[in-house]
């Protein structure tokens, strides 16, 4: 395992973490990765940008670990860190009208015959 550059966890990192700790403790912090609030008492990290060149802000510990795991998997297995994008799931028209998940509605660019039946 390689050593981290000194700036990553040195004096500046500790001071930034202290500053953000006040916001986290008061319930004012938001995870920069997922956009959800970081609750007081919840485990959190002072995150770095994905390229590791700068501090990005507070993030949930789970978000930080997940991002690191995806990045490492991409290195090992040659897959993009984001993974494949799945098409949206669709089973039927529940409320009628155009539904972007419906393949036929997307093909027509408007509500299909199934959508108009369910109105």
State residue 2's pLDDT score.
55
Contact criterion met (CB below 8 Å) for 48 and 60 = no
Distances 23 to 13, 29, 79 between C-alpha atoms, Å:
16, 5, 36
Mean pLDDT of the residues in the chain: 81
Q: Kindly list the domain boundaries of the chain, sorted by start residue.
A: 6-77, 86-119
Contact criterion met (CB below 8 Å) for 68 and 59 = no
- Torsion over CA: 41, 44, 45, 46 (sign): negative
State residue 84's pLDDT score.
57
Nearest to 84 by CA among 74, 99, 94: 74
Coil, helix or strand at residue 95: coil
Strand ranges for the chain from DSSP E: 44-48, 55-60
Per-residue pLDDT of the chain (119 residues; tens, 9 = 90+): 456 555 567 888 889 999 999 999 999 999 999 889 999 999 999 998 888 888 889 999 999 999 888 888 888 888 665 555 565 566 677 777 777 778 888 888 888 888 777 55
pLDDT in tens, 59-81: 999 999 998 888 888 888 886 65
């Amino acid at each position: 395992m390689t050593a981290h550059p000194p700036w990553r966890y040195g004096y500046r990192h500790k001071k930034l973490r202290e500053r953000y700790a006040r916001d986290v403790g008061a319930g004012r912090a938001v995870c920069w990765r997922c956009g959800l609030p970081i609750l007081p008492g919840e485990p959190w990290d002072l995150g770095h940008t994905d390229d590791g060149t700068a501090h990005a802000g507070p993030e949930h510990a789970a978000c930080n670990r997940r991002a690191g795991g995806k990045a490492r998997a991409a290195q090992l297995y040659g897959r993009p860190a984001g993974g494949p994008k799945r098409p949206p799931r669709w089973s039927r028209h529940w409320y009628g009208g155009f539904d972007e998940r419906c393949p036929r509605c997307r093909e027509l660019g408007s509500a299909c015959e199934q959508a108009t039946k369910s109105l």
